[in-house]
A and B are shown apart, each in its own frame.
Chain A
């Protein structure tokens, strides 16, 4: 039947551009980056030499890279934990009708839209050691100044502060949406039984919100693993290596030092971390669907 075949050809033509994009810019590069990660790449001669896990082994023995990996994990775990727990509290408070609550939601959400470059620049100004507003406030209440991003002890912490500030609103909006699907009677009945805010939170809000919470945790973590702009703008990974993270390291290694083999190994490690989280999210969400 020629008409059926013509029909099918038309369908595949519709899919061709999207498919080409995925194959050329996602699927093939993933395989190629894995290939590069087990090779020594010499850009000048354009040659590659198979070194098996040599790049990985060397990186995992390099203190600088281990520090980068450790920073990335600390940054991700702490930022996400703090942001999500604060967001839960704010969401419970802000989940009410009315202009005031809508306004707070909008204000808190706005950094999600604004370029991280802007946010970073703005906070770098706030954290400036001599004339920054934060040190102004500290001095105003009689506390000593902090060096914020200028000290290896506080640089990573300062970046995490900015990340929490940026991501809070996204989580608040997510949790508010989740809470609106909790039946009002459930909460009201518990309140009538004399349950206080802490009990309500632990016994009703958190369990009923657990799919949303879990989704937020994984999406936030995947996002945090990819942080780049604030590191590039605010600290450049420094002082020393104190605030360097995986993606910034990939950028430096690949595009400043042109060590493509090492940078590729770093990229594959990032890929593994993200895939692990995505798989976990998918698996657990799937099993939680019956729960709801």
Chain B
């Protein structure tokens, strides 16, 4: 019995040790990014590497910020991501509401059509969309970065699913009070699905903050480009000053990481539930 108990305790400690190692493999690179961003360029080449900066070069951040129009990149990232969130939700809410709560001819076909976007990666359609946008003269405009994401299959799918779970009695009660439809959506439906709504907004924001592909294809003007493109440009232009590159990297990651830490649980449950249902 004692032996069995010992073995169990040993196994538990073994598991913990392995998990700790796994955790380190994840924490350490992020630590290394921050430490490098505060070192001098000479110190990045020192062997064996130093675990903490010899001199804390906070000016690296100011230096990297000055190498390009970083205010512009940063603002563009915020503007484009937030613009897409607002547009997609404005479009998805009414569509999802009628798909979830109204019966009308063609509703299943329309739902299927909108959802088809979930199966089709944007890299498949990028050439035709590029040709269309260049015909419209939209290349190198915010419109090229925002408008193609007009309809989000994922947002429509999740919102329709959650609207369906709002009890019909709530809608009926509002109707008896002769509330117009928009009031039902605004005062009854949206408050009922608020967690879903917030999560979707967050995920859309993150996805577009992180995007590189679309920005590279649709723009070559740094007045329009976002942070991801700005950082890649920094890498291609410079003689690889790793301390500055990591400082730029911190500027790119920090907002998203903060957002993630604030909404960790919500994001994780959204990924698993949104994925499986």
Listed in ascending order, the chain A residues whose CB lies under 8 Å from chain B are: 8, 10-12, 14-15, 17-30, 32-33, 36, 90, 93-94, 100-101, 103-118, 121-123, 125-126, 128, 130-131, 133, 136, 139-140, 165, 169-170, 173-174, 177-178, 212, 215, 219, 222, 225-226, 228-229, 232-233, 247, 250-251, 254-255, 260, 263-264, 267-268, 270-271, 274-275, 278
Name A133's contact: one of B49, B113, B130, B276 (CB within 8 Å).
B49
A103 lies within 8 A of B29 (CB): no
Q: How far is the CA of A120 from the CA of B153 in the complex (A)?
A: 28
A residues near B29, Cβ cutoff 8 Å: 122-123, 126
Q: How far is the CA of A20 from the CA of B206 in the complex (A)?
A: 24
Which of B90-98, B161-169, B192-200 lies at the interface? B90-98
3 shortest A-B CB distances, which residue pairs? A21-B151, A21-B150, A29-B125
Name A229's contact: one of B19, B48, B212 (CB within 8 Å).
B212
Q: How far is the CA of A268 from the CA of B199 in the complex (A)?
A: 33
B119 to chain A: closest residue by CB: A278
B257 lies within 8 A of A110 (CB): yes
B150 lies within 8 A of A17 (CB): yes
B residues near A229, Cβ cutoff 8 Å: 212-213, 228
B36 to chain A: closest residue by CB: A125
Q: Does B27 lie at the interface of the complex (its beta carbon under 8 Å from any beta carbon of A)?
A: yes
B125 lies within 8 A of A30 (CB): yes
Q: How far is the CA of A5 from the CA of B120 in the complex (A)?
A: 34
A116 lies within 8 A of B210 (CB): yes
Chain A at the B interface: SS class: helix
Q: Does B67 lie at the interface of the complex (its beta carbon under 8 Å from any beta carbon of A)?
A: no
Name A232's contact: one of B113, B232, B245, B272 (CB within 8 Å).
B232
A211 to chain B: closest residue by CB: B276
B264 to chain A: closest residue by CB: A106
Number of interface residues of B (CB under 8 A): 86
For window 116-160 of chain B, which residues contact chain A by CB distance below 8 Å? 116-117, 119-121, 123-132, 148-153, 156
Residue pairs across A and B with CB atoms within 8 Å: the count is 247
Name B125's contact: one of A14, A33, A115 (CB within 8 Å).
A33
A32 lies within 8 A of B128 (CB): yes
A103 lies within 8 A of B121 (CB): no
Q: In the assembled complex, how far is the CB of residue B205 from the closest CB belonging to chain A, in whole angstroms?
A: 11
A8 lies within 8 A of B249 (CB): no
A233 to chain B: closest residue by CB: B232
B124 lies within 8 A of A15 (CB): no
Q: Does B172 lie at the interface of the complex (its beta carbon under 8 Å from any beta carbon of A)?
A: no
B257 lies within 8 A of A113 (CB): yes
Name A30's contact: one of B97, B124, B267 (CB within 8 Å).
B124
Q: List 6 A-B contacts (CB under 8 A).
A: A10-B181, A22-B153, A110-B257, A118-B249, A133-B32, A264-B127
A135 to chain B: closest residue by CB: B47
B residues near A122, Cβ cutoff 8 Å: 29-30, 32-33, 246, 249
A140 lies within 8 A of B48 (CB): yes
Question: Given A21-B151, A22-B114, A121-B249, A90–B22 Cβ distance below 8 Å?
Answer: yes
